Amino acid sequence: MSPDATDTTATREVVSSSIAKVVKIAIAFAGSILFARLLGPAGYGSFYLILSITEILDRLIKGWGEAGKKRISEVTGEADQITGAMILSWIVLVPIVFGLTYGFRTPLDGFLEVENGWLYVALSFAMISAFILFEGLTEGFGRVGTASWASTLQEWAAFPFQIGLILLGFGVAGLVYGYAAGIVIALPMLLYYGYTTPALPRLETIRSLWEYGRFSIANKLLGRTYARIDILLLGLLVTPAAAGHYEIAYRIGLTATIVSSSAALFLMARVSTLRSKGEEYAQEVTGILSYASILSIPLFFGSLLVAEDVIVLVYGEEFAPAGVLLIGLALYRIVVSQSQPLIEYVNGIDRPDVNMRISAATLGLNVVLGVTLILALGPIGVVISTITSELLRYLSLVYYAKTYFGLETFITREFRRQFVAGVIMLAVVYPVTRVHLVGHTVDTVLAVTTGVVAYTGALLALSEPTRRAVFERVPV
């Protein structure tokens, strides 16, 4: 008998997934520093334009994989047929994407400012989509920690290949080939934990997958386009270098949503399984919302004071324009950390159509505002449009969750305590930023360290549940 999501423990899987994401982000952060310094803003931006296009294309696979994850989590006994359907989708879509990218090779290469850019997009799609399918199947069994560790292994395995190929003169191509090599190394881990011997799917199984997948595919496509439209608009309306500045600011803030993204992944499978068994599931989301923003709040308040200093210290003076972008994206992270659990809750109760409609409205607003504000204000305009659009998504999710799905609590007591701790941190760190010691490096490190200590201390003092959670797990 296959395991299901109730055979796993929420805390264990979320903590395991969060740790995996921290490790992954650490290597990605180190890689971004080296890649940015070796390739400069233009080359670095071109690579992430390639990944952005790929991530939009692979939403076809991601949405179908989400349907597979949903149906497996329902414990229907059709895991073999679902696996077969996932593999068939990959076999069909990969040649189609290769043909499409080849047909548009001239405009693609011009937009990316990279020779054979079309080929790199197609290759990235083939590799990433295979990884995505088995990642979803693994998560469907409730093993979100395992799936996150596989993703972390991919990042670590890719890193030495990418550095070596860049040093050998492959440039942006080296980043793509190295990324693909990491997937080849990490994929067996997903095959081991999320693989079921495939069977030819019955028509009823395909129909069941399509009932969910038709909305999920559209939702994932809209969601990823929304997530990467900023960098695509900057590449189109400004330059790949501007896209590189944006990507640096975006990556520095990735740690802010580790908890919310890990918890949201588990929440979808958990809610789906409990609902299929007729058990209570509404309380699952409230606990996750309480701690979803525990990292994004201090990132925002800290970035108000030291955003540009941190970027210059880590990446160099040529990336200084990313500082103001980091402030805006840090505010965006607070909103998105509250949206993510609500998105997965709605998916878990079998209503991807709701998320699809919200995503369509959010993307439409972001494109219109993004183009208008980039032309009027430059790169910061796209960040303003993203914050506005994400607020629309969050408020729409709150409305639906409260009106139709019975949820009552959204801004939890713990969230308010974290926000107060962030304000206290801001008050403590501000005087430190006015003091100039040995040099820029020492000043910046002192300010960041003070902020971490101030926020942690304030939160422990304000929140008894947080104190209890920490002291129960840390030996004294």
Q: Say how far apart CA 180 and CA 412 lie, in whole Å.
A: 42
Q: What is the pLDDT of residue 36?
A: 84
Q: How many residues does the chain have?
A: 476
Query: Which residues are CB-contacts of 44 (< 8 A; sequence separation ≥ 6)?
Result: 32, 35, 36, 244, 247, 248
The DSSP 8-state label assigned to residue 202 in this structure reads P
Look up residue 155 and give its amino acid: E
Query: Which residues are CB-contacts of 168 (< 8 A; sequence separation ≥ 6)?
Result: 174
CA max distance for the chain: 71
Q: Say how far apart CA 323 and CA 368 lie, in whole Å.
A: 24
Q: Say how far apart CA 40 and CA 33 lie, in whole Å.
A: 10
Best CA proximity match to 159, nearest among 258, 167, 315: 167
What's the predicted TM-score (pTM) here?
A: 0.73
Q: Per-residue confidence of the chain (476 residues) as pLDDT tens digits?
A: 444 444 455 556 666 766 777 777 777 778 888 888 888 888 888 888 898 888 888 888 888 878 887 777 775 567 788 888 888 989 999 999 999 999 999 998 888 888 888 999 999 999 998 898 888 788 777 777 788 888 889 988 999 999 999 999 898 899 999 999 999 999 888 888 766 777 888 888 888 888 887 887 887 777 778 777 888 888 888 877 888 888 888 888 777 777 777 777 677 777 777 777 777 766 778 878 888 889 999 999 999 999 988 898 888 888 888 899 999 999 999 999 999 889 888 887 878 788 888 988 998 999 999 999 999 999 999 999 999 999 999 999 999 888 877 777 788 899 999 999 999 999 999 998 887 765 678 888 899 999 999 999 999 999 888 888 777 655 44
Residue showing tokens 């308010």:
416
String of b and e for 421-435 (b: at least 16 CB within 10 Å)?
bbebbbebbeebbee
Q: Say how far apart CA 447 and CA 453 lie, in whole Å.
A: 10
Q: What is the pLDDT of residue 13?
A: 62
Q: Say how far apart CA 458 and CA 476 lie, in whole Å.
A: 20
Q: Say how far apart CA 448 and CA 299 lie, in whole Å.
A: 10
Give the number of other CB atoms < 10 A from CB of residue 388. 17
The DSSP 8-state label assigned to residue 78 in this structure reads -
Q: What is the DSSP string of 321-350?
A: THHHHHHHHHHHHHHHHHHHHHHHHHHHTT
For residue 379, give both structure tokens: 């790169």
Packed helices 203-237 and 10-57: angle between N→C axes, nearest 10 degrees: 70
Distance in angstroms between the alpha carbons of the first and the last residue of the chain: 42
Q: Say how far apart CA 157 and CA 149 lie, in whole Å.
A: 12
Q: What is the pLDDT of residue 136?
A: 79
For residue 426, give both structure tokens: 């801001």
Q: Say how far apart CA 419 and CA 301 lie, in whole Å.
A: 9
Q: Say how far apart CA 121 and CA 116 lie, in whole Å.
A: 9
Q: Say how far apart CA 193 and CA 276 lie, in whole Å.
A: 23
43: left (phi over 0), alpha (psi -120 to 50) or beta: alpha
For residue 82, give both structure tokens: 């679902």
